[in-house]
Amino acid sequence: MLGSLRGARSRIVRLLHRERAFPGFAHSPGKGNLWRRPARLFVLAFATVDLLGTVLLLLPAAHADGEGARFTEAFFTSTSALCVAGLAIVDTGGHWSVFGELVILGLIQVGGLGIMTLASLLGIVVIRRFGLRMQLSVQTETRSLNVGEVRGIAGRVLKLALVCEVLVALVLVPRMWLSYDMTLPEAIYSGVFHAVSAFNNAGLSLYGDSLTRFVSDPIILVPIALATMFGGLGFPVLLELRRRFTAPRQWTLHTKMTVYTSGALFAIGMVVVTALEWSNPATLGTMDTLHRLLAGAFHGVMPRSGGLNVVDVGAMEDSTLFVTIMLMFVGGGSAGTSGGIKVTTFAVILLVVWAEVRGHPHVHAFGRRLSSSAIRQALSLTFLSMTVVATATVYLLITTDFAMEQILFEVVSASAVVGLSTGITPDLPEHAQLMLAMLMFAGRVGPITFASALALRERTRRYDLAEARPIIG
């Protein structure tokens, strides 16, 4: 009891002194002050880094032939790397020089770390806009994001990312050096690049065929798949798993929803993709059983935002492409390196449907009742994302000659910042490539800023109108 009282007292002290820990964010937004509009600052920061990356890639030193790249090539590549989207209109390993590749690698790292850090900070900003009682309640359900330790979040994100990336690189480098006729410097360069790309869910590879040369090598594919999965869970979940991995009953609601929903989607993706492509001679059909299972499982993980591939995605069955589109649209965990509407949003919608089917007036999950604001935000975000995808798909269908399933696949891959492609992105006209670049940027910063903006703008009405009920269905 004494320990609980001391813990509550320390949390209250941190809440009362939040302005000292993070000046500016604790107050109401004021005109002309970006620090008091964190969502706007978030977008501005990403746009600035994107512009800087574009300028660096336009330099002659960044191009393999030393002549410089076209603006569309530089802008698309910079946006794809920074937003860890993974789509490419040129061969990363053949089109860019070592300097250009290092710029891309730096953009991937900055984008991955930035999205985890800034999304976590925006979450804290939202918490701080609540009253003290609500803050303490939310603090109980978000123990991994301590509102009194804002300055430590960036450091913890960096430490977590570097540890994961180093562990993956330590497996990839010796394997590439000893088994793939690479020199030690080449193996180090390739191993580190793909470790960073995998953890940050970037989907970019130094090889024009992505990872197809490693299709039968579990020592390469398994660490990359695990890194993609971990990076996609989100920083708050990873931090809590590090502290309470063996005590799932003590996990917060957010961690439970993220882990269990992600696990179910990973399993469904692995089984469905493997089953649908089992007899396809252009993908898994010519492999032996073990390699079919390995490649199928790998592709079951990648649609959740990984973006790397070991078989030709464009040669997959239409049914597989459709399942992949649905998995890409959902994406991964909040405050993580993956995109999409996020698994918690998807889980909330499923729980709403389940409660409605059972006739329950409230939505429950793991012994908790979901707030009406969370439900509204989930529905609003999903509807907005579907509208963006539909609008972009219609535009590209009108202005290009590609099939609908190919266009829809590329649009969802871009908006969900996944990086998988049927192979048509390099062949799209320039205006279509620029649209995909804008979709990647919007898909990276849009869901986070939209959700935080809804939470920050929420107001309690002192009165309400009379209730009415339209006919549904």
Q: How confident is the model at residue 10 (pLDDT cuts 50, 70, 90)?
A: low
pLDDT recorded at residue 37: 59
Q: What mean pLDDT comes out for the span 25-31? A: 42
Bridge pairing between strands 368-369 and 364-365: antiparallel
**What are the C-alpha distances in Å from 181 to residues 47, 173, 184, 187, 197?**
40, 12, 9, 9, 22
166 is a domain residue: yes
Residue 473 has pLDDT above 80, yes or no: no
- Cut 0.85: pTM above it: no
Residue 176 has pLDDT above 50, yes or no: yes
Q: Tell me how far apart the alpha carbons of residues 251 and 241 are, in angstroms, rounded to a whole number.
A: 8
Q: What mean pLDDT comes out for the span 458-469? A: 68
Q: How confident is the model at residue 456 (pLDDT cuts 50, 70, 90)?
A: low
Contact partners, residue 432, CB within 8 Å, separation at least 6: 396, 399, 400
Choice between 157 and 100, residue whose per-residue pLDDT is larger:
100
In which residue are the tokens 């005109």 written?
31
- CB atoms under 10 Å from CB of 232, counted, come to 28
Contact partners, residue 264, CB within 8 Å, separation at least 6: none
- Residue 204 lies in domain: 13-457
280 is a domain residue: yes
Q: How far apart are the first and last CA of the chain?
A: 53
pLDDT recorded at residue 373: 81
For the chain, what is the mean pLDDT? 82
pLDDT recorded at residue 137: 44
132 is a domain residue: yes
pLDDT tens, position by position, 79-133: 999 988 889 999 988 889 999 999 999 999 888 877 767 665 665 555 555 444 4
Residue 461 has pLDDT above 90, yes or no: no
462 is a domain residue: no
473 is a domain residue: no
Choice between 236 and 108, residue whose per-residue pLDDT is larger:
108
Choice between 130 and 166, residue whose per-residue pLDDT is larger:
166
pLDDT recorded at residue 270: 93
Residue 136 has pLDDT above 50, yes or no: no
Q: What percent of the chain has pLDDT over 70?
A: 80
Q: What mean pLDDT comes out for the span 25-42? A: 51
Q: Tell me how far apart the alpha carbons of residues 395 and 387 are, in angstroms, rounded to a whole number.
A: 12
> How many domains are contained in the chain?
1
Choice between 141 and 163, residue whose per-residue pLDDT is larger:
163
212 is a domain residue: yes
pLDDT recorded at residue 463: 67
**What are the C-alpha distances in Å from 343 to residues 173, 236, 453?**
32, 14, 19
293 is a domain residue: yes
The region that residue 258 occupies, defined by phi over 0 for left and psi between -120 and 50 for alpha, beta otherwise, is alpha
7 is a domain residue: no
Residue 59 has pLDDT above 70, yes or no: yes
